[in-house]
Amino acid sequence: MQENYELVQRGFRILVASMSSYIGQMLHRIYKDNWWDRVCLMLNDQRDLPDYGDYGDLVDSLDVANCLRIITRMWRDDFSALLPRNCLTWANELMGLRNSVAHSGQQDLDQPMAERGLDTMALLCAEIDPEGADEIREIYREVRSRANEAVRPTMIVRGAEQPKSDSKRGALQEGSLLKLVGTDTVQKTTLTRKVTYAGKTVVYPVYKVRLDALYYNDQNDRISTWITQYESENGKDSLSELNTDIYNRIIENFICDSNPEAIRKTEKNIMLVGQREPGVTLADGRIVDGNRRYTCLRRIQRTTTKPVYFETVLMDMDIREDKKQIKLLELAIQHGEEKKVDYDVIDFAIGTYRDVVQTELLTIKEYAASTNEQLANVKKRIEIAEVICEFLEYIGLPEQYHVAREYQVYSLFQEMLPLLRSLEENEKTELKRIAFNNVLMKAIPD
């Protein structure tokens, strides 16, 4: 039986009808009668295209793979002005799904891939043909209902006992992954991980969790400047208004863009030896530690028909009620352990500034103790962050921290600190004014 395969193929048939019509209309509007010449130029490595023909015949000759190729290859020059940037991400993802479908043989597509693929088709189609998107969503609901009705045998794994909840709000009742242990979504393993939290070290069991049951931590300091950039372009709290799937895709792009080389290395390593270090996840699915590993696993999932899981401990805590303890835990894991996370210096400085100065979530001593740093180093980083904030105020872009990242001002402001400490207030103001103006004119390379 290839039920998921057939349903995904139905989705592709709807999508290609919508995409080919849209592509023909848009390119004809841009290139007039030369639109097909432009298509052939962009698809010169494809041998199955006609050289000429009536408009309708040419549009009908485009299969789903070539429609996706046209979107991705002509994105910069043509479609970036017509469609939201997410469409490029979705097109690339669907090309991977199409390749998996084309080479699936007699095997059916696994449930997570079928669900995600149809959801992505609907998202892309909604931007060009809302009616077609509704049809694809009907197919998605059909796939999803089959998953809910299926009875899966489960294997009982004993391993370590799950510690009781220490959260101020008590055990999570609704939406807890711990209530799904033993299902296809959450599977207990015999692995364990020690976690130090609230002054005590506890052994937690490690679970394998389906990727679509998890979501990124938007309070991760590594992407703090990327978050401010997105909110400056789309409105404050705009991320929180998105559904989980789109939210995850956007933050995945942030993490990839923030350090593409690290992503490539981690992904290659996971493909060779698997995920070696379990993550730390809250019971509602928020990943506190392991966002990069989760990103790589998401990318790997798109290249295979086999289900991919994230190995992680599950901690029954609340991001609001237990915010301080979760932040201390995150800092200890990502900065205090032997292998420190490679943060961008601006993201690290702004994260420190927010936690100690803006929100007053932590004292400077608590922060230094959690990251295993000297107090003087934390104070220095906060001083630099304060100069960054002054710079952003000076140019009329307060709290737009991504601008500081783009200008790469950290080392300049770091070098200024000793001199600023020795000057009178009016001299400090003048030095900053000169430095800020030079940054704007790009007269001083970082």
Q: Is residue 374 part of a domain?
A: yes
The mean pLDDT of 174-183, rounded to a whole number, is 86
Domain boundary at 327, 357, 377, which?
A: 327
Q: Is residue 112 part of a domain?
A: yes
Could you give the angle at which helices 375-394 and 410-422 cross, rounded to 10 degrees? 100
The Cα–Cα gap between 434 and 423 comes to 14
240 and 141 in one domain?
Answer: no
The mean pLDDT of 351-364, rounded to a whole number, is 91
Confidence of residue 341 (pLDDT cuts 50, 70, 90): low
212 and 80 in one domain?
Answer: no
Domain boundary at 95, 129, 149, which?
A: 149
- Alpha-carbon Rg for the chain in angstroms: 25
436 and 357 in one domain?
Answer: yes
272 and 223 in one domain?
Answer: yes
The mean pLDDT of 226-233, rounded to a whole number, is 86
Q: Is residue 156 part of a domain?
A: no
Phi, psi angles (nearest 5°) of residue 172: -70, 130
pLDDT at residue number 106: 62
Domain boundary at 112, 134, 149, which?
A: 149
300 and 199 in one domain?
Answer: yes
Those residues whose C-beta lies under 8 Å from the C-beta of residue 332, and which sit 6 or more positions away, are 196, 370, 371, 372
Q: Is residue 166 part of a domain?
A: no
Residue 157 pLDDT exceeds 70: no
304 and 244 in one domain?
Answer: yes
277 and 208 in one domain?
Answer: yes
The mean pLDDT of 262-278, rounded to a whole number, is 90
- What are the structure tokens assigned to 432, written together? 């900053």
Average pLDDT, the chain: 86
Q: Is residue 232 part of a domain?
A: yes
Amino acid identity, residue 170?
Answer: G
Residue pLDDT, tens place only, 30-51: 999 999 999 999 999 888 899 9
Confidence of residue 443 (pLDDT cuts 50, 70, 90): very low
349 and 401 in one domain?
Answer: yes
Q: Is residue 221 part of a domain?
A: yes
Residue pLDDT, tens place only, 95-134: 888 887 776 666 777 777 888 889 899 999 999 999 999 9
pLDDT at residue number 338: 43
280 and 238 in one domain?
Answer: yes
182 and 121 in one domain?
Answer: no
Residue 210 pLDDT exceeds 90: yes
Provide the residue range defining the domain that includes 249: 177-327
Give the total number of structural domains in the chain.
3
Q: Is residue 167 part of a domain?
A: no
194 and 269 in one domain?
Answer: yes
pTM equals: 0.62
Buried b (16+ CB within 10 A) or exposed e, 207-223: bbbbbbbbbbbbbbbbb
Those residues whose C-beta lies under 8 Å from the C-beta of residue 425, and which sit 6 or more positions away, are none
pLDDT at residue number 339: 46
- What are the structure tokens assigned to 398, written together? 């307060």
Q: Using a pLDDT cut of 90, give the percent of the chain over it.
A: 43
75 and 127 in one domain?
Answer: yes
Q: Is residue 144 part of a domain?
A: yes
Those residues whose C-beta lies under 8 Å from the C-beta of residue 389, and which sit 6 or more positions away, are 353, 398, 399
Confidence of residue 198 (pLDDT cuts 50, 70, 90): low
3-state percent breakdown (helix, strand, coil) of the chain, nearest 5:
60, 10, 30
